[in-house]
Chains A and B, each alone.
Chain A
């Protein structure tokens, strides 16, 4: 089996831990869990481009990494002021 595909499969279970924490608990815990999921998801998207040999899909990982910043900042502002 392709080592990239093996890596992709091995990276899927770690996504479940922050997912479980993001679905319950305090709102601060959910923010941190979403951040963790974003980091692991970026990693998974980057590995997917090599596992499936789709060179153009690296842009998806880049776009996701760019969009994570305003999303987290917005969440943090809401958490700080209103939630």
Chain B
């Protein structure tokens, strides 16, 4: 059961990353591409943290991974906002 959960989480993380990168290539506008970055932050990183818990339970490493997830979610939102604002101010409606 643990092994199935681990494999499933890792497979979903890889799938989400591939999907985001393919979307990154497919989408044309920079603001659209920011959504792909957010998608990786929201799906793949928590999946890796879940896989870590399946692998070894509560350990300092898995707790640090949870801290990484929280930090990625918080800073990812701030970075997307900053990048989107800079692009909108620079390029205007063309962004």
| A interface residues, Cβ below 8 angstroms from B | 3-4, 6-7, 10-11, 13-14, 17-18, 21, 26, 28-29, 31-33, 35-36, 39-40, 42-43, 46-47, 49-50, 55, 58-59, 61-62, 65-66, 68-69, 72-73, 76-77, 79-80, 83
A46-B45 CB under 8 A given contacts A7-B10, A76-B86: yes
Inter-chain contact B83/A31, CB cutoff 8 Å: yes
- Within the complex, the shortest CB–CB distance from B6 to chain A, in Å, comes to 6
* Docked pose: A39 CA to B36 CA in angstroms: 10
Inter-chain contact B78/A69, CB cutoff 8 Å: yes
Inter-chain contact B64/A59, CB cutoff 8 Å: yes
Q: Which residues on B sit within 8 Å (CB–CB) of A7?
A: 10, 13-14
Residue in B21, B60, B68, B79 whose CB lies within 8 Å of A72? B79
Inter-chain contact A11/B14, CB cutoff 8 Å: yes
Interface size class, chain B: 35 or more
A36-B41 CB under 8 A given contacts A66-B71, A68-B75, A80-B89: no
A36-B85 CB under 8 A given contacts A11-B14, A43-B13: no
Q: Which residues on B sit within 8 Å (CB–CB) of A68?
A: 75, 79
Q: Which of A18, A29, A32, A66 has the most CB of B within 10 A?
A: A32
* Docked pose: A74 CA to B58 CA in angstroms: 36
| B interface residues, Cβ below 8 angstroms from A | 6-7, 10, 13-14, 17-18, 20-22, 24-25, 30, 33-34, 36-37, 40-41, 44-45, 48, 51-52, 55, 59-61, 64-65, 67-68, 71-72, 75-76, 78-80, 82-83, 85-87, 89-91, 95
